[in-house]
Structure 1
Amino acid sequence: MYVSVSDQLAAALHERHQLSLSEFDALVNMPSESVRINELKERMLLSQSAVSRLVDRLEKRGLLEKVPCEDDLRGVEVALTTAGRRLRSKAIRTNAEVVDEHFASPLTADQLAALGEAFTEIKRQKKLGA
């Protein structure tokens, strides 16, 4: 199911926004304020070098900008640009539409409730360390 929905999402993000799944992941994991690249890496499932290359691509597209780090004169942080925020909002809506169409819509309200309960229990068990 994950692969199927991911494939549909990848296609929709590329078609509608010219974004890859990794680029979308970076945009949605950007906080409202600037962040160091290694902090962004911690939010994603990519290596440091992959995140650096991704940031470079998004910067070239005008979606992210590099800003000097106030705490470290040699350091650099990245921040969403206005265009990046706008595209992120549109892409989040696309994500919701795809997940709804290819995952949630085929299920009944009772099935969705049961799934929600199962996910809640899994999350609770993880917190308990079980």
Structure 2
Amino acid sequence: MPQRKIAQAEMPLADHAFYGLVWAGTVLTERVDRALGKAHDLPVSWFEVMLWLASSPDPVPASVLGNSAMLSRSQVSRVVDALQGRGLVTRTPSARDARSVEVALTAEGRRLFAEADATRRDCLAPVFADLLDRADLEALSAVWRKLKAHKEGGAAGPA
């Protein structure tokens, strides 16, 4: 006899909403990981670190990078090692703190990031951006900001 699934109506709203976030994050991340791996030999964890670096005009202290990425500090360190091994990032001693290093994308890292970011957008468009309207995206952004602000102990700000 086939197993039945719990219908949405049987699941409390908060549980369904949480499950939906987990499901969407898992499915979309796996999709991006496959696309980036196939097109650029670039795991999604590497892409995430590159995303933070690409969004900063200046080199990023390794500790800040570790606090920003959705990876553990040891994972960030391993990713930076791998990226440096491929010539995609540099590590330089910090001018502000002799005990720390700063990480920056190389020219090759910026080039690869731009290509990988286009791949990410293309692979997500049909299953995310093209399905959602501006109000949907704003609502998701408001939820993300609210959850993140609570984690960081701050105010959620305007929705």
Same fold, judged at TM 0.5 (above): yes
**Counterpart amino acid of 1:102?**
V
Q: Report the CA distance between 1:32 and its aligned residue.
A: 2.3
- Aligned to 2:128, the other structure's residue is in SS state helix
Aligned to 2:143: 122
Q: Report the CA distance between 1:71 and its aligned residue.
A: 1.7
TM-score after normalising by structure 1? 0.83
Aligned to 1:22: 45
Q: Does 1:65 align with 2:104?
A: no
Aligned to 1:90: 115
**Counterpart amino acid of 1:17?**
H
Q: Report the CA distance between 1:4 and its aligned residue.
A: 2.1
Alignment root-mean-square deviation, CA: 2.2
Query: Structure 2, unaligned stretches of length 5 or more?
Result: 1-23, 148-155
Aligned to 2:59: 34
Is the Cα contact below 8 Å between 1:64 and 1:79 reproduced in 2?
yes
| Greater Rg by CA | 2
TM-score after normalising by structure 2? 0.69
Q: Does 1:112 align with 2:133?
A: yes
Residues 1:121 and 1:56: Cα distance change in structure 2 (over 3 Å) = closer
Q: Does 1:55 align with 2:80?
A: yes
Aligned to 1:75: 100
Query: Structure 1, unaligned stretches of length 5 or more?
Result: none
CA distance in structure 2 between the aligned counterparts of 1:124 and 1:35, rounded to whole angstroms: 22
Residues 1:76 and 1:123: Cα distance change in structure 2 (over 3 Å) = closer
